Amino acid sequence: MPAPKKALRRSLTVTSAALTALALLSPAALAAPSPSGSPSASPSVTPPASMSAVGGARLGKPGTQVDLAGGAPVLPKDLTARSWIVADAESGDVLAAHNAHWRLAPASTLKMLFADTLLPKWPKTTKHKVEVSDLAGIGAGSSMVGVKEEETYTVHDLWLGVFLRSGNDAVHVLSAMNGGVGQTVADMNAHADELQALDTTVVSPDGYDMPGQVSSAYDLTLFARSGLQKKDFREYASTVRAKFPGETTKNKKGKPSRGTFEIQNTNRLLAGDSDVEVYPGIAGVKNGNTTNAGATFTGVAERGGRVLLVTVMNPAKNDHNEVYKETARLFDWGFAAAGKARPVGELVGPRSATAASPSAEAGGTGKGVAGTQPVAGAQTGGGAGGVGVAAGIAAGVLVLLAGGAFLVNRRWPLPDLVRRRTRP
């Protein structure tokens, strides 16, 4: 086994215990983003008879697609989501899917595309004073982190608000810094096209329900996979808790004073809840909830050296935290079925990576090694020196992901999912 792969398995194995211990220190319940209202119509009750064939013809068919060869376990029987997908993040193989290309309202999982598009634009230390116009147009009932007009925030603060609290206020401020909502929507749609996420149409950068705004379980998985190329994305998506700047007030001496307050990640598989435990090996990424979308979630987790991506959209069952419970069951199945179930499709690479490799075809098996171009903002490594080794991970600290590299699709480099300890 190559040295980077050994390091990957060693370092990721260490982290399950760390996150489990961290869960013991997490509060029993974390506030979720409130479902937003919407003027748009509800989606159809049944999926189209035929959908996109990106990633393979079977993924364009309605219903469940799985090939239980080689003694693979049967799928969980209590799955109620409109759409879901289980994919191997290293090979790009789709192990099973259900209406993978059904175009549905994405809710705040669309913020993965927002972050993947805008994260490379500014250093973390960039400061911005919020203007009244920055917060204009935020939808009623939106989840907010607590950004205040006339206050100054760093880009780092704003990204924490986006990832941890799904703050639409933080999204709108970053969009204003990017030239406005219209420019940001155009940038996101262009990036979705580059990723071959052709089910996606962005209308509002925060994922708030809007007429015509759709994505799919397949596309959301592509967004997560692309975002995980970026060190900052990995760190923000896996942060459990952080400090966020409060409002400036005057102290007893009449001098301006500005404190902080704690924000916690609303991803229940990462932070835990009263009826959901931290999922062993979880490393992010993003949840969502709106009137039209229902509950949506994309997660990434590692077990035994294998990294899986799971996306679940809109469970019909109305139980508390149902989207996380169904995601956890699909993770369990995926880890048990990996190496046994025959793939029913694949996660395609971005157009630039495909174009850089004449032998790579978007709908191919992804088994050949070919030249690639790293995604903007990605950190890749070569050999053992490119893989961070987790050491001294302790419960109660922010658990983040570090750099390194392994192959996705055998064509497109994805940094090693290795956690490291950082200061809270």
| Catalytic member of 11, 61, 91, 111 | 111
Along the 424 residues of the chain, how does pLDDT read in single tens digits?
444 444 434 334 333 333 333 333 333 333 334 344 333 334 578 999 999 999 999 999 999 999 998 889 999 999 999 999 999 998 899 999 999 999 999 999 999 999 999 999 999 999 999 999 999 999 999 999 999 999 999 999 999 999 999 999 999 999 999 999 999 999 999 999 999 999 999 999 999 999 999 999 999 999 999 999 899 999 999 999 999 999 998 887 888 889 999 999 999 999 999 999 999 999 999 999 999 999 999 999 999 989 999 999 999 999 999 999 999 999 999 999 999 999 999 999 999 986 765 544 333 333 322 222 322 333 322 222 222 222 222 222 233 333 322 222 223 444 554 332 222 3
Q: Out of 3.40.190.10, 3.30.70.20, 3.40.710.10, 3.30.930.10, which CATH number does the structure's domain 3-422 have?
A: 3.40.710.10
Task: 195-198: list long-range contacts, CB under 8 Å, 24+ apart.
Answer: 195/219, 195/222, 195/223, 195/226, 195/350, 195/351, 196/54, 196/222, 196/348, 196/349, 196/350, 196/351, 196/362, 197/113, 197/222, 197/223, 198/52, 198/54
pLDDT at 90: 84
pLDDT at 421: 26
| Amino acid code (one letter) for 398 | L
Tell me if residue 201 falls in helix, strand or coil: strand
- Strand ranges (DSSP E) for 348-411? 398-402, 406-408
Angle between helices 168-177 and 155-165 (to 10 degrees): 140
Report CA 129 to chain centroid distance, whole Å. 28
Output the CA torsion sign for 261, 267, 272, 273.
positive
Is 108 among the catalytic positions?
yes
Q: How far apart are CA 319 and CA 393, in angstroms?
A: 34
Structure tokens at 57: 């013809």
Q: How far apart are the first and last CA of the chain?
A: 35
| Catalytic member of 38, 52, 108, 238 | 108
Nearest to 385, CA basis, from 400, 405, 356, 399: 405
pLDDT at 416: 54
Structure tokens at 421: 């300890």
Angle between helices 111-118 and 168-177 (to 10 degrees): 30
In degrees and rounded to multiples of 5, residue 270 shows phi and psi of: -95, -40
Other Cβ atoms less than 10 A from the Cβ of 48: the count is: 13
Structure tokens at 30: 């974390």
* HEC readout, 105-119: CCHHHHHHHHHHHHH
Nearest to 206, CA basis, from 241, 154, 158: 158
| Catalytic member of 26, 38, 166, 216 | 166
pLDDT at 256: 87
pLDDT at 396: 26
Q: Are 218 and 100 in contact (CB under 8 A)?
A: yes
Q: How far apart are CA 189 and CA 108, in angstroms?
A: 16
Q: Are 409 and 346 in contact (CB under 8 A)?
A: yes
Is 111 among the catalytic positions?
yes
**Cis (ω within 30 of 0) for the bond into 285?**
yes
pLDDT at 253: 81
